[in-house]
Homo-oligomer: A and B are copies of this chain.
């Protein structure tokens, strides 16, 4: 993307957006005066209180700089080095983190499972959960990681989550949720954050915020508080304990305040729905898979892909299969951006 690309034409990811104005204001306010470092500031305490309200129970919270760190730290606190992490084969932890989970866990093994829409198939989980358990020759099944919303934009229903939670619990496994787009899932399902996490068995949640309005602030929400002390040591040791944590805290405090996180997510979801609605009507466009949140996969004719690229549109294509395209919307996407894209597709498809 050259610097002259109209930014309204970027649909490659929700991480190309900037930050919500409320977040910027909060950071500005946080910049004055002195504050105790390393999370001993008032802002960090406030984030914990807000999270406890939102999740309807006392939780601990660790602020981290990336979703990869949130995931890797969480997994390290839930599996021994000789353990395995059961996850979907298309999961971000398996494909897109350069082995961060293996690094943080000191070499645990990710066991990839199948399932539609990047959701773990319960039957595969059931088999893997007991595979070589207790046998020193194999890695020990230790933790299940689910992504909500999934990497392909689908959302686990509450029933689906509960099923995976039950299988995990029966096999004595811990449950981690990669919630890089957790807000989108909550907004999509109309279920409470509590129902979708600890009430379904989730021990640790990677609470993504950066893709949905903050600058560089994500968090781990700790439901199993016996893990908090270990996580604190691991975070420090990983270079994730920032001295001026007030700046991350300010972002998350504003993000959680007045339901900004859910409003942003609902907007991103609505933009994806609007896009789907528009594209469906165009001959030759074939939507693919579930589009429950802010990610939309579809098949486009080759001349459409080429036409969009010539227009300066930025998006992933031909990465999964020939002609398959991914569009991602965000809190910053406007209806105008979407309508322009739909029109462009229509024009090139004609």
Contacts and interface: CB of A to CB of B under 8 A. Distances in A.
Contacts of A210: 242-244
Nearest to A72: B239
A98 B137 contact: yes
A233 B133 CA distance: 11
Contacts of A241: 66, 68, 136
Interface stretch (A104-112, A157-165, A196-204, A298-306): A104-112
A215 B16 contact: no
Interface in A1-39: 1, 3, 7-8, 10, 13, 15-19, 21, 23-24, 27-28, 30-38
Nearest to A139: B99
Interface in A93-141: 95-100, 102-110, 136-140
A247 interface: yes
Interface string A47-72: 00000000000000000111111111
Given A82-B233, A102-B108, A109-B102, A32 B18 contact: yes
Contacts of A1: 36, 40
Interface of A: 1, 3, 7-8, 10, 13, 15-19, 21, 23-24, 27-28, 30-38, 40, 42, 64-73, 80-82, 95-100, 102-110, 136-140, 210-211, 215-216, 230, 232-244, 246-248, 332
17 contacts: A7-B33, A18-B244, A19-B31, A65-B65, A65-B66, A69-B238, A81-B102, A81-B103, A82-B236, A82-B237, A98-B138, A99-B108, A103-B237, A136-B232, A136-B235, A136-B241, A216-B247
Given A1-B36, A38-B136, A136-B241, 10 more contacts: A1-B40, A15-B244, A18-B35, A21-B31, A23-B31, A24-B28, A27-B27, A34-B332, A82-B237, A210-B243
